[in-house]
Chains A and B, each alone.
Chain A
Amino acid sequence: MVGIVSYGAYIPIWRMNRELLSRGSGERSVAGQDEDSLTMAVAAAIDCLGDLDRENIDGVLFASTTSPFKEKCVASTIAAVLDLRRDVFTADFANSIRAGTSALKAALGMVKAGAAKQILVTAADCRLGAPGSPFERTFGDGGAALLVGKENLIAELEEEHSISDEIYDVWRRDVDLYVNSWEDRFIYSYGYHTVVNEAVSGLMKKAGVESKDVKKAVLSAPETKRAMSLAKSLGFDPKTQLQDPLADKVGDTGTAQPLMLFTAALEEANLDDRFLLAGYGNGSDAFLFTVREGINEIKGKRRGVKAHMERKKMVPNYATYLMWRKLVQTPSPRVPMSVSYPTATAIWRERKRIYPLHGVKCRVCGTIQYPPQRVCIKCRAKDDFEEVRLCGRKGKLFSYSFEFIRGNVPIGLVNLEGGGRVFVELTDADPGELKIDLPVELTFRRLNLWREDGMYGYFWKATPIKIP
């Protein structure tokens, strides 16, 4: 018995009205300036894990076609941020938007084989369509996470089936910035429609189920109309049995999409419901899940898709979007500033205080201090501390102001619940909503470094709490 133990999702707070993109209706989600697939996967993973015991997690998988790194394991970064054990298996899945379900399949297989108790599957994408292209309108940014295990299941895997397919339908070469595709009638007819149909049909045959036995078909969906026509061809009622692809509110989130839509389906699930899940990309992975008792423990206790959908801020204009994605550059201020480069040695040395935001608690006087100290600032006890993870703590804004040299980005001191103070940037916040004692939470973000030297910096920021 293997299946899903928990779910989580992350949709950036930012939405862009498609009217800004000259055509199209509805909105798409847009990763903020300080977000990428790594940070969105982290956010989804944090949502998924809730307060579950992290000691049981034996592996982390990260799926994305837009990993910030072509060579560097993002799953290892996620494991570090989550403060997981050192003896965990980490791997990145890439190069097709099917990578999300590929990672899920690998995780289910590992747990089934007894190679792991639990595997955390994360997926996130932030794909770029060329300016003015249909992809720019249909894509959305976001992440999802599923915890795979064999106990306390919320959904049990009943059957799975995969198809591999060689086709140039949607691709991006090693030198390309934007996603390419062939003519859409060809790619949807001979690619998506044909291949997912083949996988799902094969699955249903293997499992001996008919369309009427399935509550919802959760299908990878480049566009709503394509998914509806596919569902119909499989014998589902597209109006009632197709999981809403969220095209009008989020868009196609690539590798994350099937897992995100599955999360949305589970948020509404009842015991014994059957869900069919299928991802697409040079083949298709199809799964049949049945909802189990564990659902009652998780339902309503994750932000998931629903809560993230309910809070939003609009990207003010298209130029902002272009700047966020670094598709247009603004010059650095003509004020010479001391800007050095990231230091790999220091990041490595300080990895515990950076990734899971470890502070220390003095064993003598109990004072929590960040960053970790050798000598207690209150009682001067030397080297007598225990490390404490601070990143999950909520806090209150102690004071704040704005950095005019960096476009008036807000920065502030945050006093954390239970002790400890951190000095961080504030993100996804309107200047007007900031005030002393504002409740904030910490969120892991990419730094907007003026000089990168081939590296990206990541650290925690604070953001006003928008979801209880």
Chain B
Amino acid sequence: MPGVRDKVAIIGMGCTSFGEHWDKSVGDLIVEACYESFKDAGVEPKDIQAAWLSTVWSGELGRTLAYPLKIGFIPITRVENRCASGHDAFINACYAVSCGAFDLVLVCGVEKLKDTGLPIPGDYNPTQLYSSRVDTGFLPATAWAMFALRYFHHYGIPVEEGKRILAKIAVKNHFNGSLSPKAQFQRRITLEDALNAPTVAWPLGLYDCCGIADGAAAAILTRADLAKNYRDDYVLVKGVGMGCGMYQGQVMDDWSFVYVEENVRASKMAYAEAGIKDPRKGIDLAEVHDCFTIHELAIYEDLGFIPRGRAKEGVEAGTFELRGELPVNTDGGLKCFGHPLGASGVRMIYEVYNQLQGKAGQRQVETRNQMGLTHTCAGTPIDSHTAAVAMLGLRGA
């Protein structure tokens, strides 16, 4: 199967700070992120031949991107796949470039949530399995709390111990966030802060939940053979993968709630393309979808960073900390960098891009393999997921 490996290069990226941008519109965020990427790539907006816009709730139609940037009358695809939208837009742009349809394209993810909040089902759920609105709605936090309870139960972890393991993940991501100038939350927290925080959905507390933010991120892609015309340290797309669930968590009465199959499938697909045998050894850092700390814990296992049931050992050993064996969420992750849904996948690519180019400042990690992983996962264990993975590497990787 011909994939995208080494056929597509990222030659420029941009990202706004994430947070409560009461003073900025969707258009403002798009202009800031995209112009930063244009400048980084050394291209003009008029050079863009096609674009992919990722947003879940902050605009429909391609014009959402064309209007603020005035890049009218070119193909612009608006992508929605919930929290994996950014990756989905990026992956589809890769497909278009790798097949030779376009030479220079723009990927932009944007979300403006702080005007209205998160429009997720409030009481009874009209949009999910059915449409009659008698089925209970649920917040993502509640669904992940149910997952956490099963995970703890399955592996015989007392709930209090489980909460402490999760708190360590929050402490780690807050530490990384403190080194991340564009992050929503840049304050370090202690284990006690996390454990004593208000409960959101038992057993999950406030610091187990990521921040809802406004923000945008953008990438300029070109064909790998043209990349050197723009810069030497361009970043190649090494492999992409994606997997979509089918409501198995509800419809199948034996679905376990201790792992996320979509994560497993998406990462396997990407690893195969990128030639990764052992991700723990083959990649230098991973930006993963820590919408809730319990999900980050599961991801360590789902993505093969550690064997099943042993994620807590990795947490205890500091394996995934900034100076650990495999740093995860070096920029603070969704937890601290913030989660403007459609922008998050592109933001993760921005972090790995910067790390691979050695531009990550205080949070710079060693890049022996010159390879990084990004991963988003939409949905919840109750309604199933869309998971997406993009592997990025330097020329030599």
A-side interface residues toward B, CB under 8 Å?
Answer: 335-343, 346-347, 349-350, 353-354, 367-371, 373, 377-378, 398-406, 411-413, 415-416, 419-425, 431, 436, 447-450, 457-459
Q: Is the CB of B119 within 8 A of A448?
A: no
Q: Is the CB of A342 within 8 A of B250?
A: no
Q: Which residue of B lies closest to A437 (CB)?
A: B153
A404 to B202, CA, bound (A): 9
Q: Is the CB of A411 within 8 A of B136?
A: yes
| B73 interfacial by beta-carbon distance below 8 Å | no
A353 to B250, CA, bound (A): 15
Determine the interface band of chain B, counting residues with CB < 8 A from chain A.
35 or more
Contacts of A436 in B (CB 8 A): 149-150, 153
A376 to B106, CA, bound (A): 40
Given contacts A377-B246, A421-B252, A424-B136, contact A399 B123 (CB under 8 A): no
Q: Which residue of B lies closest to A457 (CB)?
A: B134
Contacts of B136 in A (CB 8 A): 403, 411, 423-425
Q: Is the CB of B124 within 8 A of A377?
A: no
Q: Which residue of A lies closest to B121 (CB)?
A: A338
Q: Is the CB of A402 within 8 A of B253?
A: no
Q: In the complex, which of the residues A367, A404, A413, A450 contacts B123, with contact meaning CB atoms closer than 8 Å?
A: A450
Q: Which residue of A lies closest to B147 (CB)?
A: A399
Contacts of B138 in A (CB 8 A): 403, 411
Supply 16 A–B pairs (Cβ within 8 Å), ascending by A.
A335-B117, A337-B120, A337-B121, A338-B127, A346-B131, A369-B251, A399-B150, A401-B142, A401-B204, A402-B142, A403-B142, A406-B122, A411-B142, A424-B135, A449-B133, A458-B134
| B317 interfacial by beta-carbon distance below 8 Å | no
Q: Which residue of B lies closest to A400 (CB)?
A: B146
Q: Is the CB of B122 within 8 A of A413?
A: no
A377 to B252, CA, bound (A): 7
Given contacts A416-B253, A421-B251, contact A406 B123 (CB under 8 A): yes
A343 to B204, CA, bound (A): 34
Please list the 3 inter-chain residue pairs (A to B) with the smallest Cβ-Cβ separation, ordered nearest first.
Answer: A337-B122, A401-B145, A346-B132
| B139 interfacial by beta-carbon distance below 8 Å | yes
Contact mask B134-160 → A, CB, 8 Å, 1/0? 111111011101110110010000000
Q: Is the CB of A343 within 8 A of B131?
A: yes
A272 to B313, CA, bound (A): 72
A377 to B248, CA, bound (A): 7
Contact mask B60-92 → A, CB, 8 Å, 1/0? 000000000000000000000000000000000
Nearest CB in chain B: distance from A294 CB, A: 37
Contacts of B149 in A (CB 8 A): 399-401, 436
Q: Which residue of A lies closest to B150 (CB)?
A: A399
Contact mask B157-189 → A, CB, 8 Å, 1/0? 000000000000000000000000000000000
| B48 interfacial by beta-carbon distance below 8 Å | no
Contacts of B134 in A (CB 8 A): 342, 347, 354, 447, 457-459
Q: Is the CB of B202 within 8 A of A401?
A: yes
A384 to B142, CA, bound (A): 34
Contacts of A450 in B (CB 8 A): 122-123
Contact mask B323-358 → A, CB, 8 Å, 1/0? 000000000000000000000000000000000000
Q: In the complex, which of the residues B124, B153, B201 contacts A401, with contact meaning CB atoms closer than 8 Å?
A: B201
Known: A340-B127, A347-B132, A399-B150. 9 other contacts (CB 8 A): A338-B119, A339-B122, A354-B134, A368-B253, A402-B201, A403-B142, A421-B253, A421-B255, A447-B124
| B257 interfacial by beta-carbon distance below 8 Å | yes
Contacts of A422 in B (CB 8 A): 250
Interface residues of B in 97-130 (CB under 8 A from A): 116-124, 126-127, 129-130
A351 to B201, CA, bound (A): 32
A350 to B122, CA, bound (A): 21
Q: Is the CB of B382 within 8 A of A449?
A: no
Q: Is the CB of A403 within 8 A of B201?
A: yes
